[in-house]
Amino acid sequence: MSLQNFEKAREAMVVSQLQPSGVVDEKVNSAYLSIPREMFVSEALRGVSYLDDDLPVGEGRFLLEPLILAKMVQDANLEKTSKVLDVAGGTGYSAAILSQLVGEVYALDPSDKLLHAARLNWEKLGLTNISAVLGRAQDGYVKAAKYDAIFINGAVAEPPKELIGQLALHGKLYCVLVKDGDTTGEITRYSVSDSGSLLQFALGDAATAYVPGLMPQGKFEFQK
């Protein structure tokens, strides 16, 4: 597929997938138009890189489907002064999207190989406000906390308490909550009230694979 065709496919993703599903924020749409998703997958998958689906990137990992991430990002109402933690983003597409909207992105991933690929992708695009962090998803990244928003690129079995504890005042954590035994879950926003209570809000149904370290106990991985 030519560069021009990729650009047309990217525009079609925004116009035909994101906008009809309620993702109408101009800044979010602009971020999706500016980042070439085909760069973040293998050569064999570039032709299908704009399908609204998870895409495998190796090691049993995937890029989260565009619409799920877009719903999270739009709801977060990010600013250029925001600092965010992007968890399990694989080859770096989600962090690249977020880099267009915020001041600082910390991209945490448990795979050194995928994180290396992500760094190369960010360098090619000239993105300088992303910091790569190697570590377990369930641990977050305490050193740079507190975060205005945390995005988990996949499903979790229960609210990740360690990560929620790394939110700034009025910060928000986003994930797909898929309870043990279910095949479909909900895009979920977590926040902490002024009184310290955990608040939960559903943004819509979604199906995706569990993030390593955040799956039900005794299970390895849920395949979409």
pLDDT digits (tens, 9 = 90+) for 74-131: 999 999 999 999 999 999 999 999 999 999 999 999 999 999 999 999 999 999 999 9
In a domain, 211, yes or no: no
- Stretch 151-164: mean pLDDT: 95
Name the band, by pLDDT with cuts 50, 70 and 90, for residue 209. Answer: very high
pLDDT surpassing 50 at residue 221: no
Q: For 100-162, give the secondary structure using H, E and C.
A: CCCCEEEEEECCHHHHHHHHHHHHHHCCCCEEEEECCHHHCCHHHCCEEEEEEEEEECCCCHH
Amino acid (one-letter) located at 161: K
Q: Where are the alpha helices (DSSP H) in the chain?
A: 3-12, 26-34, 66-76, 93-99, 112-125, 161-164
Q: Whole-angstrom Cα distance, residue 118 to residue 120?
A: 5
pLDDT surpassing 70 at residue 222: no
In a domain, 217, yes or no: no
* Pairing label, strands 167-177, 147-156: parallel
In a domain, 108, yes or no: yes
Cβ proximity of 101 and 165 under 8 Å: no
Q: Whole-angstrom Cα distance, residue 3 to residue 52?
A: 20
Name the band, by pLDDT with cuts 50, 70 and 90, for residue 54. Answer: very high
- Provide the domain limits for residue 84: 3-206
Q: What is the model's pLDDT at position 43?
A: 93
In a domain, 223, yes or no: no
In a domain, 214, yes or no: no
Say which CATH number the domain at 16 has: 3.40.50.150
pLDDT surpassing 50 at residue 224: no
In a domain, 221, yes or no: no
Q: Return the SS3 of 89.
A: coil
Cβ proximity of 14 and 32 under 8 Å: yes
What residues contact 104, with CB distance under 8 A and at least 6 apart?
Answer: 82, 83, 84, 129, 131, 144
Mean pLDDT over each residue of the chain, to the nearest integer? 94
In a domain, 138, yes or no: yes
**Number of compact structural domains in the chain:** 1
Name the band, by pLDDT with cuts 50, 70 and 90, for residue 217. Answer: confident
Name the band, by pLDDT with cuts 50, 70 and 90, for residue 219. Answer: low
Q: What is the model's pLDDT at position 178?
A: 96
Q: What is the model's pLDDT at position 7?
A: 94
Cis peptide before 161 (omega within 30 of 0): no
pLDDT surpassing 60 at residue 71: yes
- Stretch 28-36: mean pLDDT: 98
How large a percentage of the chain has pLDDT more than 70? 96
* Pairing label, strands 83-87, 104-109: parallel
In a domain, 224, yes or no: no
